[in-house]
Amino acid sequence: MIAIATLLALGAQAQVEISLGQAVAWARDSAATTRLARSRSAESEEKAREVGTHLMPSLEFSAGHMIRSYNFLTGGVGFGDMAPRVPYYSMQDVRMSVEAPLLAPAAWKGAQAAREMSKARQADQASVGEDAALRGSLAWVELSRAQALEKDREEALSLARDLERMALDQKISGSASGLDVLRAQAQVVASQRALAAAGYARLKASLGLARELGFDGTDSLRAAGSLSMAPVADRVATDSDAVRVRAAQAFRTAAAADVQGARARFLPSLALAADYGWSGDYGWNEKGKNPLPKDGEWAGQVGLFLRWSVWDGGGDDARLAQSRERERQAEIGLAEAKRQSRLDRDDAAKLVSSTREQLVLAERLSTLADSQLVLARERFAEGASGNLEVVQAQGERNSAHAAWIEAAGAHQAALSRRRWAEGDWNGI
């Protein structure tokens, strides 16, 4: 990946050839949607780690220093002849505290829900990657189709120029007219125009592939291989083969765990807490002089704390209702993912069958057009006819070749859709 990125940074200095398998892998790994999904997955992992810490003991260190005075009369308290005002004194406190949950159903269920959500995000990352792989493969097919068409248009231009030379030679020898030369020259111009359009389509397809692979704009990409690749073997696929179905299943599991976490908030929790430290004071007499002797003690406490939220104004009930609705949404999403998966598989299978048939017919038509062009050129070379037949045969040949290239591209795109629908990119 680093090597390819370096090559692409060189711009037009070198052409970078990419196979279909590389396009699928790089799109799955480098597309912006994939990177975002990977970031969300990492975020959910850290969230699960954070929630998991609620089940661990906590250790806290505190230290403080305070100087204050106090007037009992402000609280409505008097002690006879005793001065109501306590002079300024200082207090220091250094303490270590620990708290360990013994029974924390809300934290335990919350941690479980967070772990399930982390798994769901990982499954979603895989699903997003598969969608990116499909777009990358379709962009590669489009570039391969554009390259094949550009190459064919170069061959068509070469044939047109051969016809122009042939017409000029025959005009010099007297066996052809000026009209034959004009027809041949017009064919050259038309072929040049078609080649320019094919070149633009190829540049546009190269930029499209770079966009899907997550690279900066570049027209130096080329598709390695050809449209005439081996077909994909038929296989029986199920809903579990579709990555997005597995992602929807993971989200439903996470939603169910979140419901359990919301219910656990109604249960009591039990924790063990303890602290130990030193507390002391350092004071002055009423005149602010002669500090009192330093006095301090080491002290601590240990206790069990039971917490039970009996009523919080309905907040926990509302949260539970929200969790149940998210669970219902996840169930709907799973059912829809399964339905769409079946439709995608059926549609892809029918599309593969249809495009395969069209490809066979386009190949036969292309072969016949080539044969017709050969015969027309032979007749013109022998002086048995004008070059009008050759011009018409070349036009039919170009149309037939373009139809074959279009059919081959459509068939390869259909195979990519079937791979995506079945969750199987092996053999590319």
Q: What is the pLDDT of residues 188-197, one digit of tens each?
A: 999 999 999 9
Whole-number average pLDDT of the chain = 85
Q: Rounded to an integer, what distance in angstroms lies between the CA atom of residue 30 and that of residue 209?
A: 12
Q: Is the pLDDT of residue 172 over 70?
A: yes
**What pLDDT is recorded for position 81?**
62
**What pLDDT is recorded for position 426?**
77
**What pLDDT is recorded for position 3?**
41
- Residue where the block lists tokens 């199987």: 424
**What pLDDT is recorded for position 13?**
46
> Is residue 57 very low, low, confident or very high in pLDDT (cuts 50, 70, 90)?
very high
Contact by Cβ (8 Å): 422, 241? yes
φ and ψ of 425, to 5 deg: -105, 15
- The tens digit of pLDDT for each residue in 137-158 reads 999 999 999 999 999 999 999 9
Mean pLDDT calculated for residue range 203-208: 92
Q: Rounded to an integer, what distance in angstroms lies between the CA atom of residue 145 and that of residue 119?
A: 39
Mean pLDDT calculated for residue range 382-402: 87
Q: Which of 40-44, 246-250, 377-381 has the lowest mean pLDDT?
A: 377-381
Q: Which residue has the higher pLDDT, 86 or 248?
A: 248
What pTM, to 2 d.p., does this model score? 0.80
Q: Which of 62-71, 193-202, 311-320 has the lowest mean pLDDT?
A: 62-71
State the architecture of 2-30+104-268+308-422 in CATH terms: Up-down Bundle (1.20)
**What pLDDT is recorded for position 238?**
63
> Is residue 236 very low, low, confident or very high in pLDDT (cuts 50, 70, 90)?
low
Residues paired with 323 in a beta bridge: none
**What pLDDT is recorded for position 82?**
62
Long-range contact set of residues 51-56: C-beta below 8 Å, sequence gap at least 24: 51/107, 51/110, 51/111, 51/113, 51/114, 52/111, 52/114, 52/115, 54/101, 54/104, 54/107, 54/110, 54/111, 55/101, 55/104, 55/107, 55/108, 55/111
> Is residue 386 very low, low, confident or very high in pLDDT (cuts 50, 70, 90)?
confident
Query: How far is Cα of residue 428 from the mean position of the Cα atoms in its chain?
Result: 21
Q: Which of 79-83, 96-100, 111-115, 274-278 has the lowest mean pLDDT?
A: 79-83
Q: Which residues lie below 8 Å from residue 406, measured CB to CB, with a gap of 6+? A: 145, 362
Q: Is the pLDDT of residue 2 over 50?
A: no
Contact by Cβ (8 Å): 326, 251? no
Q: Which residue has the higher pLDDT, 298 or 228?
A: 298
Residue 232: half-sphere exposure toward Cβ, Cα within 13 Å: 24
Q: Is the pLDDT of residue 104 over 60?
A: yes
**What pLDDT is recorded for position 428?**
73
Q: Is the pLDDT of residue 352 over 80?
A: yes
pLDDT above 70 coverage of the chain, percent = 86
Contact by Cβ (8 Å): 114, 51? yes
